[in-house]
Structure 1
Amino acid sequence: MSFELKVKTFIEEEQLLQQGDHLLIAVSGGIDSMALLHYFIQTQEHWNIQVEAVHVDHMLRGEASAEDRAFVQKYCDANDVYLHAKEIPIPTILAQENGNTQLICRRERYQFFKEVLQKTNANKLVTAHHADDQLESVLMALTKNATMNSMQGIRPQRIFGGKSLIRPFLTVTKSEIGEYLLRKGLDYREDASNSKDTYVRNRFRHHVVPLLEAENPRVTEQVTHFTKQLQEDDTFLMTLAQDVFSQIIIRNNENTYRMEIEAFQLVPLALQRRLILILLNYLYKDSNTIQSYALLTSILKLCDTTAGYAEIHLPEDFLAVRRYGNLTIQKKEPLEGLASPEKQVISTANGWTTLTNGERLRVVNLHDLSSELLTDTAQLFYFNASKLHLPFYVRARRDGDRMLLKGMDQPKRLSRLFIDEKIPLNERNSWPLLISQSDEVVAVIGVRMGIFFSTTPQPNDDTVLIVD
């Protein structure tokens, strides 16, 4: 099958184009993107589409980068294609952020692509990813982050900036693209950095892929079929998972989700993974975070049982908590009416902490307790630090909060405790609670202390909380 027919068939099978589409083609000047631009210039009447181009000069290779832009501009002028071009000072951004060069280049490049899409009539961004890129992506995912999502590789199309991003060359190899360009007598620019092993993808391209091709010259084609099947299977399973998600996961707000673990456990494991993936897509924008195998596994493990309390800290200040048979994922945010986050932490190293209600708290080792720390109004509460893992912190009441009190077999709901202690209704939601590192309420400051504290030192007590 000829190059042109393979691309045409792929576009039709994946429904990448519709009559009247306005394409914005990303062109670096390299072999792949020049072939992409040429293909659509030659076939725009057949597809009944409009074509524009977009180019980014990352300013990383000095004069060579500027020459790339001039080369693309000349070709576009000769073929009556409008070019949107921009210089982005990546070296300056790198100096400020000290980040990964490739990631920053990609972020800035795609941000410009998005801006151009939004200010023009273009409805689809087109990139020149091909079958070799697909193979490399799967191999990289396999060695780094082999999740069900990452192993599907590059998709033919996805939503981008409220519009579409399509990849019509995913079915053809780089050698086929080179042959097409040679047959058409077209020139291109070679990026010298492509020959270096500095980047992970280049190392796979130069060393791993040739070994696989020596074993099976059609390995790229095999992987293309493999990813297509995975994508089709996953699309079906994700449709099922979306239905289940709406049934068992409750969204309280954009930063809080809750579900009953027993209901989650009744779902097949394949759908459990996808339920978590859907949830992560709501919480995060970064694809590396969403596709993290460690993150997926840790949340699944948290749902292995309904018994006891457990929590895991997630990226971007989210917290996943298992409590009373429920899993809650929420943003850790300071609540109105309490001290700022940096003053909430209470440990032996922090000295005095003053709460908004005027109370002062301090934790000291028992052997460091001295009369200089005490006033006539100070109250002392002794405890064993191995049972109450420090540091403590202070927050306001949340729905469902309970505290275990001496003489009781079950924790008491704080809503009931506030009623029993005659705390004014308007003060209950901002009353300071002392919280252990495991997010357990251990004291209602100025009202009741939990089971772990005593007013006289017990044999194993080694630490004291001073309330003044």
Structure 2
Amino acid sequence: MDFSGRIREFVMQHELIEKNDGIVIGVSGGADSVCLLLCLTELRKHFKLRLKAVHINHMIRGEEADRDQSFVEELCRELGVDEISVRINVPQLAKEKHLTEEEAGRNARYQTFKEVMEDSGFHKIAVAHNSDDLAETVIFNMARGSSIKGLAGIPVRRDCIIRPLLGVRRSEIEEYLKERGRSFVTDSTNLLDDYSRNSIRHTVIPALNKLNDRAVDHIAAAAEDVAEIYEMICDMADTAEIHFEEDRVKIATKSLEGLRGPVRREVYLRALEHLAGKRKDIGSVHLDSIDGLCSKENGSAADLPYGITAVKSYDNLIISGIGAGKKAKKEAEEKKDLFVEISGDGIYYTDNGEIQVKTMDYSPGTEIPSGDLVKMIDKDKVSGKILLRYPRQEDRVKISAAGYKKLGRLFTDLKVEREDRKTAPVLADDNEIIWVIGRRLSEAFKVDSSTKSVYLLEYIQKNI
């Protein structure tokens, strides 16, 4: 199978693209993003895609950055793809936000991609990570003492972001461009070892390739296995007795007995994420320091990032901080109360978006939308009220004529991050899930030859 065929197969295998999708493409002008742009352009006719390229000029490399911008603009004109170039002063932004230029640039890129996506009425963002990027991420996370979650690397899909090239090597991408006579630009900073990831790319990966020329493929395969193992660890961590308060977390040490080390560390990570609002900069050394308190005397303590402290208090671990997670926790609690009753045609609002409902007659030949956020269901198959809500533990989805699958297992199969699951909106009637919005429509409600009346549903996200 040729390169283009492999990309198409990967896209379909992971259900990354559906017909009539609107996709924002991040295009830097480098080999990976040029390849992504070309591949999606080739798939445009088959999937009836609407494409828009976005180039970010980070204002770091002077004339070289301007050269990259001009290159992308010319390439998009040639391919007939709408393009937007945005100039962002990343050095200034990094200084204002107290971030590295790498972090500030990444945050600015994704924020811009999402803004363009929303303004365009699109629902997906395609970025050009490949299997080498995945391997580099795994090695980087391993070297800095990441939790097991970090060893799973880069997901193929997360929310609106898709990665169609994650199954191919960087060398294959460059060969594909060479065969088609396509040029690309090179960011001179990628040739330096100033950044940790560049050092891994130019030193560690080549050394591993000398040991085994399929080292990157093996690391990518291992990362996929780790992702599944992490799901199992999370399920076991759910058994721990942990109580969340506004600015502290209490963990019963007895409930940790019998749990293996990786499971206990996941419990501690949940506590720290609750207080800090993020997991970044929390490494294994911090988790081990909390774990060590379990066997120490009452009153023993450990200092942790973000001003957080863990203390052994009789039969509990008390982890408390400066309340950095108060706002995030309050917002999360408010989201848990999502409960919108759909009573007929109209627009129904939530904190993060709106759902538009329209009743229509149906007859053979009526066009059925296939976008992630636009669906058509058989009105007569709905029992009782339709509710827009968040998932419940007992939820199931009919995935085939053969039967149902638990929603939690479906999320696992779709590689939905656990922290995103509780606030993933679903549409349900009195009996079961109708639509896991943006992810899966139940087979039980699809139109068929007997359908006479339908609901046309469109969910519009405001904040992603």
Q: 1:103 is matched with which residue?
A: 103
**C-alpha distance in 1, partners of 2:229/2:45?**
35
Q: 2:329 is matched with which residue?
A: none
**C-alpha distance in 1, partners of 2:23/2:235?**
29
**Aligned residue type for 1:269:** G
Say if 2:240 is the partner of 1:250. Answer: no
**C-alpha distance in 1, partners of 2:11/2:131?**
14
Q: 1:134 is matched with which residue?
A: 134
Q: 2:268 is matched with which residue?
A: 276
What is the deviation of 1:262? 0.9
Among candidates 275, 292, 295, match of residue 304 of structure 1: 295
Say if 2:318 is the partner of 1:328. Answer: yes
> The residue matched to 2:280 in structure 1 has which SS?
helix
**Aligned residue type for 2:105:** C
Q: Deviations over 1:11-69 (max 9, x none)?
A: 23333233443211111011100110110111023234322121110111112211211
CA contact (8 A) 2:248 2:275 kept: no
What is the deviation of 1:287? 4.4
What is the deviation of 1:172? 0.5
Q: 2:286 is matched with which residue?
A: 295
Q: 1:339 is matched with which residue?
A: none
Q: 2:68 is matched with which residue?
A: 68
What is the deviation of 1:76? 1.9
**C-alpha distance in 2, partners of 1:262/1:113?**
46
- Sort the Cα spacing of 1:101 and 1:11 in 2 relative to 1 into closer, same or farther, 3 A: same
> The residue matched to 1:72 in structure 2 has which SS?
helix
CA contact (8 A) 2:276 2:323 kept: no
**Aligned residue type for 1:14:** H
What is the deviation of 1:177? 0.5
Larger radius of gyration: 1
**C-alpha distance in 2, partners of 1:122/1:199?**
33
- Sort the Cα spacing of 1:268 and 1:22 in 2 relative to 1 into closer, same or farther, 3 A: same
**Aligned residue type for 2:44:** Q
**Aligned residue type for 2:36:** L
Among candidates 166, 171, 185, match of residue 162 of structure 2: 166
**C-alpha distance in 2, partners of 1:282/1:333?**
9
> The residue matched to 1:149 in structure 2 has which SS?
helix
Q: 1:80 is matched with which residue?
A: 80
What is the deviation of 1:91? 3.3
- Sort the Cα spacing of 1:15 and 1:301 in 2 relative to 1 into closer, same or farther, 3 A: farther
**C-alpha distance in 2, partners of 1:274/1:96?**
33
- Sort the Cα spacing of 1:11 and 1:303 in 2 relative to 1 into closer, same or farther, 3 A: farther
Q: 2:54 is matched with which residue?
A: 54
What is the deviation of 1:92? 3.0
- Sort the Cα spacing of 1:176 and 1:183 in 2 relative to 1 into closer, same or farther, 3 A: same
Q: Deviations over 1:372-406 (max 9, x none)?
A: xxxxxxxxxxxxxxxxxxxxxxxxxxxxxxxxxxx
Alignment of 1:209-248 (within 5 A): 209-241=205-237, 243-244=238-239, 248=241
> The residue matched to 2:64 in structure 1 has which SS?
helix
**Aligned residue type for 1:309:** G
> The residue matched to 1:244 in structure 2 has which SS?
coil
Among candidates 267, 290, 308, match of residue 259 of structure 2: 267
Root-mean-square deviation over aligned CA pairs = 2.4
What is the deviation of 1:285? 4.5
> The residue matched to 1:52 in structure 2 has which SS?
strand
- Sort the Cα spacing of 1:249 and 1:146 in 2 relative to 1 into closer, same or farther, 3 A: closer
**C-alpha distance in 1, partners of 2:221/2:49?**
29
- Sort the Cα spacing of 1:25 and 1:143 in 2 relative to 1 into closer, same or farther, 3 A: same
**Aligned residue type for 1:212:** L
Q: Normalized against structure 1, the TM-score is what? A: 0.64
**Aligned residue type for 1:89:** N
Residue-pair matches, total: 324
Q: Deviations over 1:445-464 (max 9, x none)?
A: xxxxxxxxxxxxxxxxxxxx
What is the deviation of 1:263? 1.5
Among candidates 191, 196, 213, match of residue 200 of structure 1: 196
CA contact (8 A) 1:26 1:53 kept: yes
Among candidates 184, 187, 192, match of residue 183 of structure 2: 187
What is the deviation of 1:98? 7.0
**C-alpha distance in 1, partners of 2:267/2:61?**
44
Unaligned regions of 5+ residues in structure 1, if any?
A: 335-468
**Aligned residue type for 1:234:** Y
- Sort the Cα spacing of 1:333 and 1:209 in 2 relative to 1 into closer, same or farther, 3 A: closer
Q: Normalized against structure 2, the TM-score is what? A: 0.64
CA contact (8 A) 2:248 2:319 kept: yes
CA contact (8 A) 1:319 1:332 kept: no
> The residue matched to 1:320 in structure 2 has which SS?
strand
**C-alpha distance in 1, partners of 2:308/2:69?**
43
CA contact (8 A) 1:129 1:167 kept: yes
Alignment of 1:369-408 (within 5 A): none
What is the deviation of 1:298? 1.5
**Aligned residue type for 1:86:** V
CA contact (8 A) 1:265 1:303 kept: no
What is the deviation of 1:320? 2.1
Say if 2:33 is the partner of 1:33. Answer: yes
**C-alpha distance in 2, partners of 1:30/1:40?**
16
What is the deviation of 1:87? 0.7
CA contact (8 A) 2:28 2:72 kept: yes
What is the deviation of 1:134? 1.7
**Aligned residue type for 1:273:** R
Q: 1:3 is matched with which residue?
A: 3
> The residue matched to 1:228 in structure 2 has which SS?
helix
Q: Deviations over 1:397-446 (max 9, x none)?
A: xxxxxxxxxxxxxxxxxxxxxxxxxxxxxxxxxxxxxxxxxxxxxxxxxx
**C-alpha distance in 2, partners of 1:180/1:209?**
21
Unaligned regions of 5+ residues in structure 2, if any?
A: 325-464
Q: 1:429 is matched with which residue?
A: none
What is the deviation of 1:133? 1.2
